[in-house]
Structure 1
Amino acid sequence: MIIQKTDAEIAIMKTNATLVSQLLAEVAKVLKPGMTTLQIDALCKTFIMDQKGVPTFLNFHGYPFTICASVNDVVVHGFPNEKELKDGDIVSIDVGITRDGYVGEHAYSFILGEVSDEISQLVKVTKEALYKGIEQAIAGNRVGDIAFAIQQHTEKKYGYGVVRELVGHGLGKTMHEDPQVPNYGRRGTGTKLNENVVLAIEPMINMGKKEVYTEEDGWTIRTADGLPSVHFEHDVCVKKGKALILSDYSLIEAAEKTNSNLNIAYQLA
């Protein structure tokens, strides 16, 4: 069932989405080589508790951490661990907060230090594709319009692998509501979008092939060919004429600029 939110519910969800953006901005301020993703997990849990929220991911279907920390060839659902991050790593942090009965959750991919032009382009194009998809999240369009826009900008234009097994989704009182929002598809197909439906739009794009596999922990999903993957995600409310983005990447981008350990050259290209 697809649930249209009231204006009051959307206001709560926007507050929560912005809190997640603020949290990811805090991560952006301190992220550096030598840190571990377990340290980031602890930082995020403390922030969420300080905001009188509940970590949405923690214990979700048994998931044992506050964040998903996916590095390099890990697409999504990476377990935080004690391995030190290093220059050249792509670090995708996905995190959620539940507060006042509603979920805010989204993801951002950071670059540590110097990387090849090919990796910089992958990050840039994946982030661009997110906004291409959001442009289609307007009342009267269909889910396939979002999917088509993302696939066209990544797979068709650049030859990247668009992951099939993982999709975006509706968002509300729970983290996964209807409809599912794939990153591949045909225009004019799928569920019709009504105003005030909230979606988590999240391209997961591989540098190489689209195929992935799940590790023995039952969560960590890696690219089959070992090449890097990038993940960006926004919380978006469907509106007439133009979608309303509930999360706020400007907070994260401003924090990135203060941290010399982070490579933001892709934003300037």
Structure 2
Amino acid sequence: MRGRSPALEIKSPSDLGGMRAAGLVVAEIHAVMREAVRPGATGRELDAIARRELAARGATSNFLGYHGFPATVCVSVNDVVVHGIPDDTPFQEGDIVSLDFGAVVDGWHGDAAVTIPVGEVSESVARLLVDCEDALWAGIAAMRAGARLREIGTAVEQLVRSRGEYGIVEEYGGHGIGTAMHQDPHVMNYRTRQRGPKLEPGLCLAVEPMITLGQPQTYTLSDRWTVKSTDGAWAAHFEHSIAVTDGGPFVLTAPDGGAARLSELGVPNPVTLPR
């Protein structure tokens, strides 16, 4: 315990089992929502799907009512970076739709986001999605026990900078997660001077890079939630909740625990969570 920040919530092996249960509910409902993203569908329809699927699993939403947020899923289209409120505007062919969604199971929180193309998208937009998701996995790969928090943001930034002239959104980032959706520490998506706390087994983090095809600056609409890129550039957002373990990072919100992607990156990954 000595040397640990008192703000960090370290989970026991049994706690991680609860985190995995919440993460799997998030993964399952994300899969259902993804299938519903098509031209003519609406954000409000996706929100109804999320509510139905949560109820079917005996889970609750950690988004609905959070500081007054009026929905169970954030639906952010094109130049909306994050925190979009679902409405009745139909998706158009060529749009991109970010779905940020979380669930609570027996007091444990899961949180994940994905950006989905609506039909065929332009080559530059398709690359944006690939590069943002790859940046997420680069950050996850840096989550080894004993590493410093700064290494996550450094890995994200290095991957993004190696792929193109993207804007890395700095106002928003990842966070600790566990008995609350948002906990310390804040997880930057770029390298910082501060090393940050040491990552230790039982620490759970949500890593979520957001990048744009233009400049990184954003502004918030009068609804106090919807965040858009200042220059109108389209944006991508990907997120997973991850547990640090002695055997490597375990992706709580991925059906396979992240094994396939981390194997491609040459990163050790536990087959199952410790018990």
Q: Same fold (TM over 0.5)?
A: yes
Q: Which residue of 1 aligns with 2:113?
A: 107
Q: Which residue of 2 aligns with 1:68?
A: 74
2:100 aligned with 1:94, yes or no? Answer: yes
Alignment of 1:47-196 (within 5 A): 47-155=53-161, 157-186=163-192, 189-196=195-202
Q: Is this contact kept in 2: 1:2–1:178, CA < 8 A?
A: yes
State the TM-score, normalized to the length of structure 2: 0.88
Q: Is this contact kept in 2: 1:142–1:190, CA < 8 A?
A: yes
Q: Which residue of 2 aligns with 1:38?
A: 44
How far apart, in 2, do the equivalents of 1:160 and 1:30 lie? Answer: 29
How far apart, in 1, do the equivalents of 2:85 and 2:60 lie? Answer: 19
What's the offset of the Cα at 1:50? Answer: 1.4
| Bigger mean CA offset, 234-243 vs 223-232 | 234-243
CA deviation profile, 1:207-249 (whole Å, cap 9, x unmatched): 1111011111100000111011000001100123521111116
CA deviation profile, 1:10-66 (whole Å, cap 9, x unmatched): 111111111111101111222211011000001101110111111110000111111
Q: Is this contact kept in 2: 1:148–1:187, CA < 8 A?
A: no
CA deviation profile, 1:51-99 (whole Å, cap 9, x unmatched): 1111110000111111100000001000000100010111010111111
Q: Which residue of 2 aligns with 1:200?
A: 206
Q: Which residue of 2 aligns with 1:230?
A: 236
How far apart, in 1, do the equivalents of 2:237 and 2:109 lie? Answer: 19
Gap regions ≥5 residues in structure 1? 252-269
**4+ residue stretches of structure 1 with deviation over 6 A?**
none
Q: Is this contact kept in 2: 1:107–1:232, CA < 8 A?
A: yes
Amino acid at match of 1:232: F
Amino acid at match of 2:228: R
Gap regions ≥5 residues in structure 2? 1-6, 258-275
Q: Is this contact kept in 1: 2:131–2:163, CA < 8 A?
A: no
Amino acid at match of 2:236: V
Q: Which residue of 2 aligns with 1:257?
A: none
What's the offset of the Cα at 1:141? Answer: 0.6
| Bigger mean CA offset, 183-192 vs 82-91 | 183-192
How far apart, in 1, do the equivalents of 2:162 and 2:182 lie? Answer: 28
Determine what percentage of the aligned residue pairs are the same residue. Answer: 37
Amino acid at match of 1:123: L
Q: How many residues align?
A: 251
How far apart, in 2, do the equivalents of 1:93 and 1:30 lie? Answer: 12
Q: Is this contact kept in 2: 1:141–1:188, CA < 8 A?
A: no
Amino acid at match of 1:237: A
For 1:175, what is the secondary structure of its paired residue? coil
